[in-house]
């Protein structure tokens, strides 16, 4: 079955399981035009599932993983107090993008944060990407008080 044949009512959002590893690596590779980051995902998978297993979610359609979102709770970095939520990773298969899946993943992650008594959630997005900015604005994110700074060392 190709992705475009999957029906929206088949969408399910659930906690990440160890069996999802290969599907996440494959989906990430599709999103990165063929680049595979298995080592990266091995580290992320272990850390996210160990620290806050309720903050690692996948979207499935039938038996296929079509999206993911992963969050973290931290504090004191960057001068912010403890207990701050972070949306760190999100991705949706290109065949089912623009169908509300990313929004549903974020909303479920926000529910999980709230259940853990997190009061504020941050994320970082590419400033010139209107699609991702619109997505986060659509679920209530606003421009924050922090500014990302960078230096090119080339």
Per-residue pLDDT of 97-137, as tens digits, reads 999 999 999 999 999 999 999 999 999 999 899 999 999 99
Q: Which pLDDT value is given to residue 2? A: 45
Pick the CATH number of 11-138 from 3.40.630.30, 2.40.480.10, 3.30.1180.10, 3.50.50.60: 3.40.630.30
Q: Decide if 58 contacts 108 (C-beta within 8 A).
A: no
Helix (H) or strand (E) holding 51: helix 38-51
1 — pLDDT class (breaks 50, 70, 90): very low
Please check the confidence at residue 47 and state whether its pLDDT lies above 90. no
Cβ neighbours of residue 27 closer than 8 Å, sequence gap 6 or more: 65, 66, 67, 68, 91, 93
**Mean pLDDT across the stretch 58-74?**
95
Would you say residue 66 has pLDDT above 70? yes
pLDDT higher for 91 or 77?
Answer: 91
């Amino acid at each position: 079955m190709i992705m475009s044949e999957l029906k929206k009512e088949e969408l399910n959002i659930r906690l990440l399981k160890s069996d999802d590893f290969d599907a996440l690596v494959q989906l990430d590779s599709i999103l990165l035009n063929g680049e595979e980051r298995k080592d990266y995902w091995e580290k992320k998978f272990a850390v996210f599932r160990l620290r806050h297993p309720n903050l690692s979610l996948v979207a499935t359609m039938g038996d296929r993983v079509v999206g993911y979102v992963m969050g973290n709770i931290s504090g004191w970095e960057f001068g912010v107090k403890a207990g701050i939520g972070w949306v760190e990773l999100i991705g949706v298969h290109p065949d089912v993008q623009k169908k509300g899946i990313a929004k549903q993943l974020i909303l479920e992650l926000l529910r999980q944060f709230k259940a853990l008594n997190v009061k504020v959630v941050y994320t970082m997005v590419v400033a010139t990407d209107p699609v991702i900015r619109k997505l986060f604005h659509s679920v209530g994110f606003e421009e924050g008080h922090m500014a990302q700074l960078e230096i090119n060392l080339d």
